[in-house]
């Protein structure tokens, strides 16, 4: 029996749910659940203990409520979000900040008291005709220093189902650890019309950093509602900065070396820059595709995947370029497809799956056929460009055996990749942790494409590929990354990659499969098995190494002409980048002075070489390290 203050829980919960909650013996959790039962007034409450029985109940309720639709393969379901609820809502995502706290220029915030009053108004009576779900998860492997426990309160069984696929079970962890400090995620889809959120104008994602709580209302899209995804990353970044570890928007992968030795690397790439395709590359292994926690242990860096699943963009996934992923998506098993097209034979179709477009089907707009337009006269594609799949990583043939290792995996290098048509070479190693963090990570940009925006070629500033998710001022975040590396005698090597460099005729200089070669060279450097050429911006491969790697890995001839074109140092473009990035940081407060020092030193090296050798310098002119 719970103490008198929690008698309301006994009254509101079924005897089974009350038993599950009582067993956790957690006053902070009791207070949270009690508060939102009173505020949301659900018709009933279901508490999940992560058992197969409870998980199956969640799956069946998602189908019964039409939040998911069964497809033709066993375990496959489709979910549709509203037509105007297809992506993360950056404008409606705000930090609840007391008046005396400043998060900096780039972070969207609202006065905490004002925001809480608004969001509680949206939650009030929001679940009167619905069933509330209370579910528990663990971010990071179980029984690990990486573990962060979390609770989700929602009225969406699709959300509860998605989180069961994506995250480790947390109920037993709550029972044993009885945490007072855990992440809290509260969600309501709000009023529904045709099974989707109706009041999109009341869509909000409000984040209380001090209480480790995220509130989301009047939305179903998983990027806004899966609290343990990017909202949890925001909470973790602040927590990590205070405790001396890192929470990063990074994949973790294993790269196979010689003698069956495998090394692990993290990578940060903005959207549409090759992050997922790198993490899932055939011949290597994947630990995680999206979010990593990094900690120092015995003078080495270890990383763990926050998730056990993948919530990935499905556009363009096809059997030729993504054979392992395509195979997993084509097999029976538990998969949620969101905002795809359901064809006449009840199978999922998405843009880029195959050349042939179906004659008709059902998608996020309703009944669909080629050429159909919306009320504004805009043609509706068969599937949304942000359509997604939700799967467990273990279904991939290249899933790494250490995904659930509580110690994580030792990280030998960190890779930063952007979409850059004219500046960065395909692969380059930084001289040091400091130079890498300041010039590569802090200087990361991504060019827009015509498919993404009206205007092509705009460079978006996105340090560490984490700009959208920062919960501390940018200067503090950079200092956290700098100090993290200084804790270690030999920190992981830092690299940049660029799959999108173009030649003088506007053609891409890299083939899609060439990324396998850059990874193999990165691995050789991590194992200290090859030398490099020293340029003003970093260390680049020698032609002889790449020639061997291309032949051995891809059975492909790599010409000296290709090498020179790809690795020629473009000094004017590099100088322009320095000026561009420096001007951004000069407008911000509390940026570490070492950032400006590193850019100034790099600028000096570039100008000195420019005076000697001209604007464009062949790799043949650079000395061996």
Task: Just list the catalytic residues.
Answer: 273
| Strand-pair category, 44-47 with 109-111 | unpaired
Q: At which residue do the structure tokens 């006053």 appear?
A: 27
Q: At which residue do the structure tokens 């995620």 appear?
A: 185
Q: Which long-range contacts (CB under 8 A, 24 or more apart) does 548-555 make?
A: 549/517, 549/520, 549/521, 550/517, 553/283, 553/516, 553/517, 553/520, 554/513, 554/514, 554/516, 554/517
DSSP 621: G
User: What does R_g of the chain's alpha carbons equal in angstroms?
Assistant: 25
Nearest to 235 by CA among 163, 183, 295: 183
Q: What are the backbone angles phi and psi of residue 406, rounded to the nearest 5°?
A: -65, -20
Judging by beta carbons within 10 Å of its beta carbon (0-12, 13-18, 19+), is residue 100 exposed, middle or buried?
A: exposed
Contact 292, 269 (CB under 8 A): no
CA distance 139 to 235: 12
Between the two ends of the chain, the Cα-to-Cα distance in Å is: 70
Judging by beta carbons within 10 Å of its beta carbon (0-12, 13-18, 19+), is residue 530 exposed, middle or buried?
A: middle
Nearest to 477 by CA among 14, 103, 155, 93: 103
- Torsion (CA) 220, 224, 225, 226 in degrees, nearest 10: 130
Contact 65, 157 (CB under 8 A): yes
Number of H helices, E strands in the chain: 18, 35
CA distance 202 to 449: 31
């Amino acid at each position: 029996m719970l103490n008198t203050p929690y008698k309301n829980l006994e009254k509101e919960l079924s005897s089974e749910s009350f038993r599950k909650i009582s067993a956790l013996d957690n006053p902070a959790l009791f207070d949270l659940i009690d508060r939102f039962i009173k505020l949301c007034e659900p018709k009933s409450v279901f508490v999940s203990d992560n058992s197969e029985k409870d998980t199956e109940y969640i799956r069946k309720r998602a189908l019964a409520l039409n939040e998911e639709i069964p497809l033709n393969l066993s375990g496959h379901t489709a979910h549709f979000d509203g037509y105007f609820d297809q992506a993360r809502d950056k404008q409606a995502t705000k930090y609840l900040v007391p008046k005396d706290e400043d998060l900096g220029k780039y972070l969207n915030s609202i006065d905490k008291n004002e925001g809480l009053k608004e969001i509680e108004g949206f939650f009030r009576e929001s679940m009167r005709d619905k069933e509330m779900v209370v579910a528990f998860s663990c971010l990071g492997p179980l029984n690990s220093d990486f573990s962060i426990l979390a609770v989700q309160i929602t009225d969406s069984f699709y959300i509860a189902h998605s989180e069961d696929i994506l995250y480790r079970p947390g109920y037993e962890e709550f029972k044993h650890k009885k945490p007072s400090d855990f992440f809290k995620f509260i969600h309501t889809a709000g009023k529904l019309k045709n099974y989707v959120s109706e009041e999109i104008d009341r869509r909000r994602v409000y984040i209380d950093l001090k209480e480790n709580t995220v509130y989301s209302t009047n939305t179903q899209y998983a990027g806004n509602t899966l609290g343990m995804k990017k909202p949890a990353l925001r909470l973790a970044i602040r927590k990590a900065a205070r405790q001396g570890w890192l929470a990063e928007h990074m994949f973790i992968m294993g790269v196979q070396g010689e003698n069956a030795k495998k090394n692990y690397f993290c990578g940060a790439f903005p959207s549409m820059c090759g992050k997922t395709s790198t993490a899932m590359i055939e011949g290597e292994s994947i630990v995680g595709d999206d979010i990593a926690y990094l900690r120092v242990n015995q003078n080495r860096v270890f990383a763990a995947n926050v998730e056990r699943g993948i919530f990935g963009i499905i556009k363009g996934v096809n059997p030729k370029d993504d054979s392992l992923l395509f195979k997993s998506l084509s097999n029976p098993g538990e998969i949620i497809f969101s905002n795809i097209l359901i064809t006449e034979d009840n199978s999922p179709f998405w843009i880029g799956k195959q050349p042939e477009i179906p004659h008709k089907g059902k998608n996020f707009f309703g009944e669909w056929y080629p050429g159909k337009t919306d009320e504004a006269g805009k043609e509706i594609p068969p599937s949304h460009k942000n359509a997604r799949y939700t799967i467990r990583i273990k279904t991939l043939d290249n899933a790494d055996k250490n995904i659930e290792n509580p110690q994580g995996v030792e990280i030998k290098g960190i890779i930063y990749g952007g979409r850059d048509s004219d500046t960065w070479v395909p692969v380059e190693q930084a001289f040091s942790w400091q130079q890498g963090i300041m010039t590569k990570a802090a200087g990361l940009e991504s060019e827009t494409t015509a498919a993404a925006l009206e205007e092509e070629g705009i460079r978006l500033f996105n340090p560490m590929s984490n700009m959208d998710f920062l919960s501390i001022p940018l200067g503090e975040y950079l200092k956290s990354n700098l100090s993290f590396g200084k804790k270690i005698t030999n920190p992981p090597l830092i690299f940049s990659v660029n799959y999108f460099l173009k030649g003088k005729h506007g053609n891409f200089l890299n083939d899609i499969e060439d990324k396998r070669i850059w990874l193999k060279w990165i691995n050789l450097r991590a194992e200290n098995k090859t030398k490099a050429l020293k340029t003003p911006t970093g260390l680049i491969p020698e032609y002889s190494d790449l020639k061997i790697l291309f032949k051995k890995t891809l059975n492909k001839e790599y010409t000296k002409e290709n090498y020179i074109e790809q690795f020629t140092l473009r000094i004017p473009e590099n100088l322009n980048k320095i000026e561009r990035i420096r001007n951004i940081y000069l407008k911000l407060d509390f940026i570490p002075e070492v950032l400006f020092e590193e850019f100034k030193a790099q600028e000096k090296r570039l100008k000195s070489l420019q005076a000697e050798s001209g604007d464009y310098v062949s790799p043949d002119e650079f000395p061996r390290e």
